[in-house]
Amino acid sequence: MNLKLEIRHCLPREALAKWGELEIPAKRGGQSLIEVLIALGLASILLPALLTGLVASREGKAQEAQRLQATALAQEAQEITRNVREKGWSNIPTSGGSPYHPQATGTSWSLASGAEPISQFTRKIDIADVRRDPATGNIVTSGGQIDPSTKKLVTTVAWNTPYVSQVDSILYLSRFLNNNTWIQTNQTDFDAGTHNGTKTVPTGGSPDAQVELNLASSTADYGNKFLVDPTTSGIVDMQTQFFQTGLTFTAQSPKTVKSVKLYVHTAKSSPLYKVSLQTDDGTGLPSGIPLSSGTFQPQSAGWQTINISPNVQLAAGTKYYIMVEWQSGQINNGHYISIRQSTPLNKLYPKTGATDSNANTYSYLVIGRYYPTPQNGQPIYVLEFTDNSLEGNPFNTGDQSPIRGALFQGEQFQVDSNKTISAVKLYLRKNSSSNPTDNLYLTLETTAGQKLIDNVTVMTPTQPSTSFAYYTYNLPQTQTLTTGTTYRLYLSSPGSAQTRTYEIKRDIISGVSNLNDVTYDGTNSLLTLTFNSGANWGTNGAYDWAGFYFTVQNQDTTNGDYTSQTFNAGASAAFNNITWTATTPGTTGVKFQVAIDNTSPPTNFFGPSGTSTDYFTTPSAIIPFTNVNGQYLRFRAFLTGDGFTTPTLSDVTINYSP
């Protein structure tokens, strides 16, 4: 009898094919038991492995189902956190607290503290700060700076059976959603801010106002106001030892004097005279104590140089006296000198036009003390310093000169800095009661021939008086004089006859040729004239056109700023960027800083680096992420002009996220 053992559904199909059927002969005696034991041994080896695989397969299917369910729970948590963020960034908890979980209250979601059990699962949300590289804005795992408008949320769903397992999901949330704007663009907006060298200007359009620099309307004069009448005089005829001459002035330079030059008006068999430099005694009189002195004995009228000893250093801005007194020799009405003065008393320093309130001339009767008599003349003197530079008034005479026919006259000059002129003032007259026979014309041109003012009529024959006076010509538009360019300003009247002309005044140095450095504007400005209607021009360094000057527009306001009113976002917000509309002609410009804080008003203004040392200059600027948070904001606009032209600011927009 043969026994047949079949193993079904336990061995793989290949094993069955290999082993087939196991036959045990019926009549082999003791072998049957051995064969049964072998079969049982093999089964004990194979069956557990097969059964374990079957169980594992069934449990794997359960684990996969749990993983899918956990993933769904994680995705649900992410969607809920997005929903929470959309209701306001403040609903996202700060980093570093306990884990959170979604919680429904009515129809609204929020994030509650702690993890939550869901059936066999535990779900939690961990919130962490995000760091960015300030230079690139890229997220970094270490270093960098915290971005307060971005959070990292890690949602974890865990379970314990059949194995301890979990699913993690990472979500980065940004605050920039449902952004709002704050716009400043009309007069009410701009008037609510603070102006510093700026102003709100209505436009009459849309927008209805803009911010501009508050350009100053002040002006200055540039030219030669120093006048010398043709008639000069001596200060006092020093015919006795009791008369002295005094010339007072204000020192312009802190330099050391080695000689004094005076113009002797009259010299008659002169005795020896002493010249000294003295200070004021505090009562308006010379101190009587020479700082330095020298002597001279002129034999004729004209310029005289008196070397003084010791050389003495002046204090700029201090009043000094040049005193001339008899020293020795016969003195009477046949033996004396007088020192020249001119009129009018300009109280100006001729080279620069600076005011010299101390300028005057005096005669002194000296009997035990000084008895002064002011002569109210313009002192004529030149100081020579040890560096060979000069200071003083060298114009010892003047004249009146015609403008007529082919004779055109004016001044050739350069400017020491760029100047924008709006008018010209001219000191002139007509030479008789009969009117000139042509208009008076003005031309301003470069010596290269470029005309800024081209032969314009500044006066008709009936306008001027026979007495000298200033007349103003307002330019139809401003003109800019630039450094490095040589200009020629001149008058002409081609149709005026010799006996019926216009006349100007001229300042003159006579008798010497080495004092041009202290004439009006030194060697930068010279009288220019032509005798052939401008075909050829000449200059004379001993002459200057007297009584002409420009009205110069002051460059008082080249910078200003405007600070906005405070904007209240209602709660802490993220201020993302600032944009603006501005017009910046020429070299003008507009730049910005912002201040953000949780207290009002914010005062720490900063630029794109988050510091006060730089500015937003591109009209669509991102506020640095490290500084965006706060409830209150102000902006400050910095306007830069050239003194004559202003930029304009039309509107400013702040973009922010609640």
pTM, to two decimals: 0.59
| Averaged pLDDT, 536-547 | 96
| Averaged pLDDT, 12-33 | 46
User: What local confidence, expressed as pLDDT, does residue 501 receive?
Assistant: 96
For 435-488, what is each residue's pLDDT tens digit?
999 999 999 999 999 999 999 999 999 999 999 999 999 998 889 999 999 999
pLDDT at 14 over 60: no
For 211-237, what is each residue's pLDDT tens digit?
999 876 678 899 999 999 999 999 999
Which sequence spans correspond to the domains of the chain? Answer: 66-174, 180-215+557-657, 233-389, 397-553
Q: What is the CATH number of domain 397-553?
A: 2.60.120
User: What local confidence, expressed as pLDDT, does residue 558 receive?
Assistant: 81
* Contact (CB, 8 A) for 652 and 580: yes
User: What local confidence, expressed as pLDDT, does residue 367 receive?
Assistant: 93
User: What local confidence, expressed as pLDDT, does residue 540 receive?
Assistant: 94
The token pair that represents 300 in the structure block = 């004729």
Domains 233-389 and 397-553 share a fold: yes
User: What local confidence, expressed as pLDDT, does residue 21 receive?
Assistant: 40
For 66-78, what is each residue's pLDDT tens digit?
888 889 998 888 8
The one-letter amino acid at 167: V
Name the burial class of residue 521, with classes exposed (0-12), middle (13-18) and buried (19+) by CB atoms within 10 angstroms of its CB. Answer: buried
pLDDT at 9 over 50: no
User: What local confidence, expressed as pLDDT, does residue 39 receive?
Assistant: 67
Cβ neighbours of 280 (radius 10 Å): 15
User: What local confidence, expressed as pLDDT, does residue 177 receive?
Assistant: 64
* SS3 readout for 553-612: ECCCCCEEEEECCCEEEEEEEEEEEEEEEEECCCCCEEEEEEEEECCCCCCCCECCCCCC
Lowest pLDDT segment from 49-58, 352-361, 385-394, 417-426: 49-58
Q: In whole angstroms, how large is the CA radius of gyration of the chain?
A: 50
pLDDT-based confidence at 6, cuts 50/70/90?
Answer: very low
CATH topology of domain 233-389: Jelly Rolls (2.60.120)
The one-letter amino acid at 23: E
The token pair that represents 559 in the structure block = 């910078």
| Averaged pLDDT, 231-246 | 97
Q: What is the CATH number of domain 180-215+557-657?
A: 2.60.120
pLDDT-based confidence at 289, cuts 50/70/90?
Answer: very high
| Averaged pLDDT, 417-430 | 95
